[in-house]
Chain A
Amino acid sequence: MNWETVIGLEVHLQLATRSKLFSGAATAFGAAPNTQACAIDLALPGTLPVLNRAAVEMAIRFGLAVHAEINPISVFERKNYFYPDLPKGYQTTQLARPIVGPGHLDIELTDGGSKRVRIHHAHLEEDAGKSLHEGFHGLSGIDLNRAGTPLIEIVTEPDLASAEEAVAFAKKLHAIVTALSISDGDLSQGSMRFDVNISVRRPGEPLGTRTETKNLNSFRFMERAIHKEVARQIDVLEGGGRVIQETRLYDGDTDSARAMRSKEEANDYRYFPCPDLLPLQVDAELIERLRATQPELPEARRARFVTDYGLSDYDAGQLAGDTATAHYFEAAARAAGDAKLAANWVMGEIAARLNSAELGIGQCPVSPEQLGGLLRRIVDHTLSNAIARQVFEELWRGAAADADSVIEAQGLRQVSDSGAIAAMVDAVIGANAQQVAAYRAAPEAKRPKMLGFFVGQVMKASGGKADPRQVNELVAARLAEDA
């Protein structure tokens, strides 16, 4: 008998504000320890929080993007627990009245269908600091730079049925928040962290007992952690045991998970409304202003790429999903004057090179304008594809400012002078009497394939500079002549 997997996600998203949620200290990543933790973040006596407008607006933008209700009044509460990276002894968060109410996000499934995932709510809260446990002679070192960094926590309904669906949802969410510019989306720096609630059940039965695996910070770890936990729960149940509701930690480096000790779990948080903060009012005017200035989201962009550039739906999806890639593609397409060619290069050469160099599109050594300039020379037949790759190499190395200067300096202009090409064709045919005889003796159907040999020889003789279209035509004509 089958098991069904039921998954709900809680996503912590760091907002891309310059300053903290409740203080004017900086949020930049990687600063020296405790140089961005001010008196408010440290909870020194007499300090009071003042809410960051940008964080509120980012939360609203997120809500609008997932078709959620924006609550006109939301309330901050204190979630009380003791941990050294939480100086106040409570996290300021929202519980009963979050800023973003129920919404939804549609994900694409591998079978081509789609699925609506309901979002229960999203709320504003502050991040905690970081603890370092190694190298302090038995003590822990605390860096409070991250304390007070604004987060939204996005909570889904348990609508996901597999690791693959959970990852599809996470990636879609990532595409949306980066398109909105409300987060840098840098998972390696903890900008997006996932808690995964997992249970299994027999089809038709009520929900099973769930466990929560906390703090997954990559799509790959999330996928592996879910597979592992689902297998563990099925093992327990098929062995006649019971799943215990617990919090689990997954270690991506060793691909292993363990239950947190109950002492590590302080699940009696004694929430109460924070007396230091007044209710947050969001008026309709602000919501409408933000709605009117929402950036284009990946789904709309994909549709536009199909209609405006004539790309296939698949290619459009590849290019539109990631905002930086989409912008790169559009700039290259503009400069090239040929969107399909630009699309092929961005998804082909550029993607492959970036991948092997482990670079993001933002670090691409070839600017979209440089790529567009190169592609323009393919469009106007100055360069063959093969030579264009050589020129690309120079641009990638940073050896030249643009394609035209490489073409000039290295004399790479494609030979499209038919006299010069004809001479090369004649030379190749003269030097390969045996192959010529074989070609002429071959049945019609086999000839096109054999033609490739001669074309290849001519291209080689030209140093790759002959226009292949012309070479093909001339070789075919010449071989047909004396037959």
Chain B
Amino acid sequence: MAIQRADIEKLCYLARIDLTEDTAADTAAGINRVLELIDQLRAADTAGIAPLAHPLEETQRLREDRVEEKVDRDALQAVAPAVESGLYLVPRVIE
């Protein structure tokens, strides 16, 4: 399946990315090349092979349930454009 211009526009909206006309065309072509690779992979016979969730053949290590992080709010908020009363301020998200 080849990706269309409309798909690129939808992905851009979902990812909140603005692409210029030229870049959009390049991006579509690039994604289509990746999809061709995936189509080749699909042709391989994978019957009886368990799906791979992660390339490392390891399982998740667990941590004990302990509070170990000290939060220095002022330091963490120093990079924020706007804060007030300890809250991060952002453009209003509801009307």
Identify which of A26, A39, A264, A273 contacts B76 (C-beta below 8 A): A39
Identify which of B61, B62, B92 contacts A139 (C-beta below 8 A): B92
Contact B65 A33 (CB under 8 A): no
Q: A16-60 toward B: CB 8 Å interface, digit per residue (1/0)?
A: 011100011110000011111111101010000011111110000
Interface of B: prevailing SS: loop
**With A131-B93, A138-B92, A266-B14 as contacts: A34 and B68 at CB distance below 8 Å:** no
Q: How far, in whole Å, are A159 and B61 apart by their CA atoms in the complex?
A: 37
**With A133-B94, A266-B14 as contacts: A33 and B87 at CB distance below 8 Å:** yes
Q: Inside 8 A of B87's CB, which chain A residues have their CB?
A: 33-34, 132, 136, 141-143
Q: State which residues 23-49 of B face A: CB under 8 Å.
A: none
Q: How far is the CB of B18 from chain A (nearest CB, A)?
A: 14
Identify which of B14, B68, B94 contacts A268 (C-beta below 8 A): B14
Cβ-closest chain B residue relative to A268: B14
Q: How far, in whole Å, are A140 and B94 apart by their CA atoms in the complex?
A: 9
Q: How far is the CB of A98 from chain B (nearest CB, A)?
A: 13
B69 contacts A by Cβ under 8 Å:
yes
Contact B86 A34 (CB under 8 A): yes
B85 contacts A by Cβ under 8 Å:
yes
Q: How far is the CB of A29 from chain B (nearest CB, A)?
A: 14
Q: Inside 8 A of A25's CB, which chain B residues have their CB?
A: 67, 69, 71
Cβ-closest chain A residue relative to B89: A139
Identify which of A24, A36, A56, A133 contacts B62 (C-beta below 8 A): A56
Q: How far, in whole Å, are A23 and B71 apart by their CA atoms in the complex?
A: 12
Q: Inside 8 A of B62's CB, which chain A residues have their CB?
A: 50-53, 56
Q: How far, in whole Å, are A131 and B53 apart by their CA atoms in the complex?
A: 34
Q: Inside 8 A of B88's CB, which chain A residues have their CB?
A: 34, 84, 141-142, 144
Contact A280 B60 (CB under 8 A): yes
Contact B59 A24 (CB under 8 A): no
Contact B73 A84 (CB under 8 A): no
Contact A36 B85 (CB under 8 A): no
A281 contacts B by Cβ under 8 Å:
yes
Q: Inside 8 A of A144's CB, which chain B residues have their CB?
A: 88
Q: How far, in whole Å, are A80 and B86 apart by their CA atoms in the complex?
A: 27
**With A97-B53, A131-B93, A268-B14 as contacts: A55 and B65 at CB distance below 8 Å:** yes
Q: How far, in whole Å, are A17 and B66 apart by their CA atoms in the complex?
A: 9
Q: How far, in whole Å, are A139 and B93 apart by their CA atoms in the complex?
A: 8
Q: How far, in whole Å, are A49 and B58 apart by their CA atoms in the complex?
A: 16
Q: Inside 8 A of A449's CB, which chain B residues have their CB?
A: none
17 CB < 8 A contacts A-B:
A19-B67, A24-B67, A25-B69, A25-B71, A34-B71, A34-B77, A39-B69, A50-B62, A53-B64, A84-B90, A136-B89, A138-B92, A140-B89, A270-B14, A277-B60, A278-B60, A279-B54
Binding site for B on A (CB under 8 A): 17-19, 23-26, 32-40, 42, 44, 50-56, 73, 75, 80, 82-84, 97, 131-133, 136, 138-144, 264, 266, 268, 270, 273, 275, 277-281
Given contacts A50-B62, A277-B54, 15 further A-B contacts (CB under 8 A): A24-B68, A25-B69, A25-B71, A39-B76, A53-B65, A54-B64, A54-B65, A131-B94, A139-B92, A140-B89, A140-B92, A142-B88, A142-B89, A144-B88, A281-B59
